[in-house]
Amino acid sequence: MSERSGDAEALGGGRSPGPVLAVEGLTMHYSTRAGVVRAVDGVSFSVGKGQALGLVGESGCGKSSLALTLLKLLPENAQILSGRILLDGMDIVPLPEERMREYRWSRIAMVFQAAMNSLNPVYRVGEQIIEALEVHVESAREESLRRVRELYDLVNLDPSLIMRYPHEYSGGMKQRAVIAMALACEPDVVIADEPTTALDVIVQDHILREMKNVRAELGMSMIYVSHDMAVIAEVSDMVGVMYAGRLVELGSTVDVFRDPIHPYTRALTSAFPSVTGEKHELTVLPGEPPNMIDPPSGCRFHPRCPYATDPCRSETPPIVRRGGHWAACWNPTGEGA
Amino acid sequence: MQTDGSRPLLRVDGLSKRFPVSPVWYRRSNSFVHAVDGVSFEVARGESFGLVGESGCGKTTTGKLLVRLMDPTCGRIVFDDGDEGPVDVSTLKGKPLKRFRRKAQMIFQDPYESMNPRRTVFDTIVEPLKVQRMGSHLDRLDRVLRMLGLVGLTPARTFLFRYPHELSGGQRQRVAIARAMVIEPSFVVADEPISMLDVSVRAGVMRLMEDLAARLEIGYLYITHDLAAARHTCSRIAVMYLGKIVEIGETETVLQSPKHPYTQALLSAVPVPDPTVTRPPVRIRGGVSPSLDPPARCRFYDRCPIADDFCRDNEHPPLQDKSSGQMASCYRV
Amino acid sequence: MDVQRAPRSVDHSLWRTRLGLAADRLRENWAAFVRARVGVIGLAVIIFYALLAAAHPVLMSTVWDESIYDPVVGYSFDETRQPAPPSLRHPLGTDPLGRDILSQLMFSARSEFMLGLLAAVVTVCIGTMVGAAAAYFGGIVDTILMRLADIMIMMPGISVLIVLSALIGVEHLELGLIIGVLSGFGGTGVVLKSQALSVVVKPYIQAARVAGGGPLHIILVHVVPNLLPLSFLYMMFTVTSAIFSEAVLSFLGLLDIRMSWGLMIHTTESAGYLTQVTEAWWLIFPASLSITLLCSSFYLVGRSLDEVVNPRLRRA
Ligand SMILES: Nc1ncnc2c1ncn2[C@@H]1O[C@H](COP(=O)(O)OP(=O)(O)OP(=O)(O)O)[C@@H](O)[C@H]1O
Ligand SMILES: Nc1ncnc2c1ncn2[C@@H]1O[C@H](COP(=O)(O)OP(=O)(O)O)[C@@H](O)[C@H]1O
Ligand code: SF4
Ligand code: SF4
Ligand SMILES: [Mg+2]
Ligand SMILES: [Mg+2]
- Kindly state the average pLDDT of the residues A254-270: 89
**Ligand located closest to B108 CA:** 6
Residue B47 in any domain: the answer is yes
CA atoms of C250 and A237, how far apart (whole Å): 82
- DSSP secondary-structure letter at C311? G
Spatial neighbors of C179 by CB under 8 A, at least 6 apart, are C119, C122, C123, C157, C238, C241, C242, C245
pLDDT of residue B125: 94
Counting residues of chain B whose pLDDT is more than 90, the rounded percentage is: 35
Atom 1 in ligand 3: which residue has the minimum CA distance? A329
Q: Residue A328: pLDDT above 50?
A: yes
Nearest residue of A to residue B170, measured between CA atoms? A288
Considering only alpha carbons, which residue of chain B is nearest residue C9?
B138
- Give the C window 137-156 contacts with B, CB below 8 Å: 139-140, 143
- Mapped onto helix, strand or coil, the DSSP state of residue A82 is strand
**Which residue, among B225, B250, B256, B274, would best test binding to A if mutated, counting the most A CBs under 10 Å from its CB?**
B274
DSSP at C223 = I
Q: What local confidence, expressed as pLDDT, does residue C8 receive?
A: 45
- Are C204 and B115 an interchain contact pair (Cβ–Cβ within 8 Å)? yes
A59 Cα: distance to centroid of ligand 5 (angstroms)? 6
Asked if residue B101 belongs to a domain, the reply is yes
> A5 vs C115, which has greater pLDDT?
C115
Per-residue confidence (pLDDT) for residue B3, from 0 to 100: 45
Residues B101, C210 contacting (CB under 8 angstroms) = yes
Residue C42 sits at the vertex; the CA angle it makes with C223 and C129, to the nearest 5 degrees, is 20
Q: Ligand 2: residues within 6 Å at CB?
A: A 30, 32, 37, 39, 57, 59-65, 75, 77, 292
Total structural domains in chain B? 1
Please determine, for residue B190, whether its predicted confidence score (pLDDT) is greater than 90: yes
Choosing from A28, A29, A33, A37 the residue with most ligand 2 atoms within 8 A of its CB, the one to mutate for a pocket test is A37
CB-CB neighbors (< 8 A) of B289 in chain A: none
Residue C11's pLDDT band, with cuts at 50, 70 and 90, is low
Using most ligand atoms within 8 A of CB, pick from B311, B313, B319 the residue to mutate for ligand 4: B311
**Is the predicted pLDDT of residue B307 greater than 80, yes or no?**
yes
The pLDDT tens digits of the residues spanning C163-173 come to 877 787 777 78
Is residue B1 in a domain? no
Confidence of residue C7 (pLDDT cuts 50, 70, 90): very low
Report the run of H or E that residue B39 belongs to, with start and end.
strand B32-43
Reduced to 3 states (helix: H, G, I; strand: E, B; else coil), residue A267 is: helix
Instruction: Check: CB of residue C302 under 8 Å from CB of residue C237.
Output: yes
Q: What is the DSSP letter of A187?
A: -
Angle, vertex CA A227, rays to CA A223 and CA A231, nearest 5 = 65
Q: Which atom of ligand 1 is nearest to the CA of B290?
A: 29
In a domain, B239, yes or no: yes
Mean pLDDT of all residues in A293-299: 88
Q: Would the CB of B290 count as within 6 Å of ligand 1?
A: yes
C14–chain B Cβ distance below 8 A for any pair: yes
> Shortest Cα distance from A46 to chain B (angstroms)?
20
Q: Which long-range contacts (CB under 8 A, 24 or more apart) does B138-141 make?
A: B138/C5, B138/C6, B138/C8, B138/C11, B139/C3, B141/C6, B141/C10, B141/C11, B141/C14
pLDDT tens-digit map of C137-196: 988 999 999 999 988 888 776 777 778 777 877 777 888 888 888 888 988 999 999 999
DSSP E strand stretches across chain A: 21-32, 35-47, 52-56, 78-87, 90-91, 108-111, 189-193, 221-225, 238-243, 246-252, 319-322, 325-328
Does residue B280 sit within a domain? yes
Please give the average per-residue pLDDT across B162-182, as a whole number. 87
Are the beta carbons of B231 and A271 separated by less than 8 Å? Answer: no
Residue B5: inside a domain: no
- Confirm or reject: Cβ of B169 under 6 Å from ligand 1: no
Cα angle for residues B253, B258, B263 (degrees, 5° grid):
125
Q: If you write DSSP's letter for every residue of A105-158 in order, what string do you get? A: TTTEEEE-TTGGGGS-TTS-HHHHHHHHHHHHS---HHHHHHHHHHHHHHTT--
Give pLDDT, residue A294.
Answer: 85
Interval A196-205 mean pLDDT: 82
DSSP per residue, B153-207:
--SHHHHHT--GGGS-HHHHHHHHHHHHHTT--SEEEEESTTTTS-HHHHHHHHH
Query: How far away, in angstroms, is C103 Cα from ligand 6 center?
Result: 67
pLDDT for C155:
78
Percent over 90 (pLDDT), chain A: 32
Instruction: Tell me, yes or no, whether B78 lies in a domain.
Output: yes
Q: Please tell me the number of the ligand nearest to residue A62's CA.
A: 2
| Closest residue, chain C, to B27 (C-alpha) | C139
B35 Cα: distance to centroid of ligand 1 (angstroms): 6
The pTM is what? 0.79
User: Does the pLDDT value for residue C312 go beyond 60?
Assistant: no
Instruction: Report how far Cα A326 is from the mean position of its chain's Cα atoms.
Output: 18
Tell me if C212 and B128 make a contact (CB, 8 A cut-off): yes
Is the pLDDT reported for residue B81 higher than 50?
yes
Span C243-292, pLDDT tens digits: 888 888 888 877 777 788 888 888 888 877 777 777 777 878 888 888 88
- Pick the residue whose CA is nearest to atom 7 on ligand 2: A30
Structural domain contains residue B3 = no
Work out the average pLDDT over B24-35.
Answer: 70
Question: Does residue C93 register a pLDDT over 50?
Answer: yes
Ligand nearest to the CA of B330: 4
Name the percent of chain A lying above pLDDT 70.
Answer: 93
Using the mean position of ligand 3's atoms as its centre, give its distance from the Cα of residue A7 in Å: 20
Pocket test for ligand 2, best of A30, A31, A32 (most atoms within 8 A of CB): A30
Q: What is the pLDDT of residue B288?
A: 62
pLDDT score at C64: 80
Domain that holds residue B252: 10-328
Q: Taking residues B183-190, report their average pLDDT.
A: 92
Site from C15, C26, C137, C204 to mutate, B interface, most B CB atoms within 10 angstroms: C204
Give yes or no for residue B66 having a pLDDT over 90: yes
- The answer to whether the CB atoms of B272 and A229 lie below 8 A apart is no
Interface confidence, given as ipTM, is: 0.84
Residue B137: C-alpha distances to residues B120, B122, C12 (Å)? 16, 12, 12
* Ligand 3 pocket residues where CB is under 6 Å: A 262-263, 299, 301-302, 305, 307-308, 312, 317, 329-331
Specify the CATH number for the domain of residue B182.
3.40.50.300
